[in-house]
Amino acid sequence: MKKSFSIIFIVILLSAVLNGCNQKVSSDLPVEKDSVIVVMGPTSEPVAGFDPAYGWGAGEHVHEPLIQSTLTTTTRDLEIAYDLATSISVSEDGLVWTVGIRNDVYFTDGEKLTAHDVAFTYNTVKSESTINDLTMLEKAEAVDDTTVKFYMKKPYSIWPYTMAIIGIVPEHAYSPDYGQNPIGSGRYVLKQWDKGQQIILEANPYYYGKEILMKKVTIVFMDEAAAYAAVKAGQVDLAYTSASYSDKAIDGYSLLGVETVDNRGISLPTIPYNGETGNDVTCDLAIRKAINMGIDRQKMIDNVLNGHGTPAFSVCDKMPWFNEDTTVEYDFDGAVALLDEAGWIPGDDGIRTRNGIRAKINIMYPASDSVRQALAAETANQLKALGIEATIEGVGWDVAYNRAQREPMIWGWGTHTPLELYNLYHTVPETGLARYVPYANKTVDSYMDQALSTMDLETSYNLWKKAQWDGTTGTAGDSAWVWLVNINHLYWVKDNLNVAEQKLHPHGQGWSIVNNVDQWSWK
C-alpha cells in the first residue's frame, strides 16, 4: 500500500515538472516593436480606480487620463487646445460656459459619447470627488446631444485648464465600481490590472484622433531601488529615477532629463513678529531682495541636483502666464550693497545686525525630504557669505504650516494652472494676509481677481503677469517667496526608444511622462 502510494506520488511530481519544462516560459515571447514597458513609483498607481471622480488625472500630479477623453488638452507650451470640444464660449459675466462637443466619438462599448455624458461626468465629479475641486461649478447641463453648458458660481477664467484633466465617463455604464473596469473613449483601453504590480493598456481601435503608434503600454509600479534593478537587468524600456542614480552608466540605456515646473522655493514672512506670526529679520524688504539676488542658483543646481535642474524665479516659470521680467541675475555685490544701504552692518563674526536685531533665520524643511534638506543646507551656506546666519531644521507637516507663519520654510510647488499664483499670493478674507506666509499687496490682489474674471485667456495671462510685476510693484518685487530651482525629472530610457517631446512636467514624477505615449516609437 505504502509502496504504490509513493510510486503514484513520484509519477505525479515528475509529470508536473516535465510539463513545466516543456511549456514555453512566457518571458520567451518575442518582443513586439509597438509595445513599451514603463516603470513608475508605487504612489502613481490609482488604487481607488481609473475614475475621474476619485482623482484619476488630477491631484498633485496632473496628467492626461489616457483611458478617457477630455474636453480640452494642454499643449507643449501649456496653452489650451481642443480635444472633445469643438467650440468654447463664455457669457459676458463669466458665469456660463458653453462648449460644443464632437459628434463622432464612441465609447469602447459602442455607445456614442454625447453632451449628456459630459454633464453627467462633471456633476458626478463635483459631488463625489475629493481631489478634484469643482466648488466653483454650480452645475453642468446638456442642452442637446452636442452642447453642454457649465454654470459657475463665480467667474473663473482658467476653467479650460480644469477641463483638460477631467476624463469623460459614460453615463450608461457608470457605478461606484467604474474605476475597476473603466469604459472610456480615450486613446487606450485598460486590458489588465494586476493590483499593486502592473497595468496593461492597449490602443483603442475606435479612437477618433491621431493614429496611435504605440499599441501596447505596460506600466509597472516599483520603488526606486527595484526600478534601478529592473533597468540594469534590461527588463524594462523606461524607468523613473532620481539624481542619486544619475551618475551611473547603464549599457543600452541613456539618461533623459525632462524640464519641469516642479519647483522648490523658500517662504519669507513679510511682517514683523507680533507674538504669533511674522519674523523680525525677513520683514525687511532689503533682506528678502538680497536673498533673491544673492543666491547662486546654478551653483545650487550643480551641488544639490548634480546639474539636473533649472533656476526658478517664480512658481510658474516658462508657463504662458510667467512674467519673464522677473528673472534675476545672480548679483552678490548688489545684494551686499542692498544690505549695507539698509543699515545691516556686519559684526566681527561676519553676521549683520541692525538696531540690535541679528540677521539670523531658521530655515525649515519637511523632515522626510532629503532634497529639500540639501537645498536648505546649501541656502544656509550661501547666505553666510552675505552675512546672514541661517540654521536649518527638519519639521513634520503637523507643525510646518503653523510655524511657516513665523519662520522661513522650503516648499515644493508647480502645476499647470495659474491658480497656484492665486493660492500663494492672494490674501484670504480671514486674516487679510496670504495663506501660507504673512504677505499682503492690494495691487497684486486686484490684478489676480481681474485675471480670474477676464474671460479671454490671452488677456488674463497678461493680468497674471502684471500681478508678478507691473513696473512698480508685484509679487516678484515683494519677494515673499524666493524661488530657487526647478527640478528636472530623470528617466532611464532604452537606447532605441523614441520618447515624444515632453511638455513641462508638473510637481512630482508619475504619469506625465506617458502623456503622449501614443506618439512614441522604436527606431
Partner 1 sequence: MKTGMKKSITFLAKNLIRLVLLLLCASILAFLLVSLSPVDPLQVNVGQAALGSLSREQIKKLETYWGVNDPPVKRYLAWAKDFIRGDMGVSLLYRQDVSSVIGQKLAHSLLLMGSAWLISGIVGFSLGIIAGANRGSFIDRIIRGYALLTASTPAFWIALLFLLIFAVWFRIFPIGLSVPIGVEEGFITLTDRLRHAILPAAVLSITGISNIVLHTREKMIDVMESEYVLFALARGENKRSVVFRHGLRNVLIPAITLQFASIGEIFGGSVLVEQVFSYPGLGQAAVSAGLGGDIPLLMGITVISTAIVFTGNFTANLLYGIIDPRIRRGAEK
Position 418 contacts partner 1 (CB under 8 A):
no
411 binds partner 1 (CB under 8 A): yes
Centre a 10 Å sphere on the Cβ of residue 117 and count the other Cβ atoms it contains.
26
Q: Does 249 bind partner 1 (CB under 8 A)?
A: no
**What is the full DSSP assignment across 1-44?**
-HHHHHHHHHHHHHHHHHHHHHSPPGGGSPPPTTEEEEEE-GGG
Find the shortest distance in angstroms from Cβ 86 to partner 1.
29
Q: Does 402 bind partner 1 (CB under 8 A)?
A: no
Nearest approach in angstroms of CB 60 to partner 1 is: 3
Min dist. Cβ of residue 318 to partner 1 (A): 17
Can you tell me the distance from the alpha carbon of 403 to that of 408, in angstroms, rounded to the nearest whole number? 9
CA-based nearest residue to 519, from 226, 189, 212: 212
Binding map of partner 1 across residues 52-81, x = CB under 8 A, - = no contact? --x---xxxx--------------------
Residue 397 lies near partner 1 (rule: CB under 8 A) = yes
- Minimum distance from residue 133 beta carbon to partner 1 (Å): 4
Out of 77, 93, 109, 223, name the contact with partner 1 by CB under 8 A: 223
Q: Report if residue 196 touches partner 1, rule: CB under 8 A.
A: yes
Here's the x/- map for partner 1, 103-142, by CB under 8 A: it reads as ---------------------------xx-x-xx------
Cα 125 from Cα 166, distance rounded (Å):
8
Determine, following the binding rule CB under 8 A, whether residue 192 of this chain makes contact with partner 1: yes
- Provide CB contacts within 8 A for 268, sequence distance 6+: 279, 282, 287, 288, 291, 408, 437, 479, 480, 481, 482
How are strands ordered across the β-sheet holding 352-354? 345-346, 352-354, 357-358
| C-alpha cell belonging to residue 437 | 506666509
- Identify which of residues 249 and 356 has a Cβ nearer to partner 1 in the complex: 249
Cα gap 495→499, rounded to integer Å? 10
Closer Cβ to partner 1, 50 or 344, answer by number: 50
Instruction: State which residue, 128 or 470, has the beta carbon closest to partner 1.
Output: 128
Q: Could you give phi then psi for residue 378, rounded to 5 degrees?
A: -65, -40
Return the residue of 95, 226, 377, 500 that touches partner 1, per CB under 8 A.
Answer: 226
Q: Under DSSP, is residue 375 helix (H, G, I), strand (E, B) or coil?
A: helix
Tell me the three state secondary structure of residue 247. Answer: coil
State which H helix or E strand residue 294 sits in.
helix 285-294
Q: Does 233 bind partner 1 (CB under 8 A)?
A: yes
Rounded CA-CA distance 466/79 in Å is 19
Give the interface with partner 1 as residue ranges (CB under 8 A).
20, 23, 25-27, 29, 35, 37, 42, 47-49, 51, 54, 58-61, 130-131, 133, 135-136, 176-177, 179-180, 191-192, 194-198, 200, 216, 218, 220-223, 225-226, 229-230, 232-233, 235-236, 366, 396-399, 411-415, 417, 419-420, 423-424, 435-436, 507-508
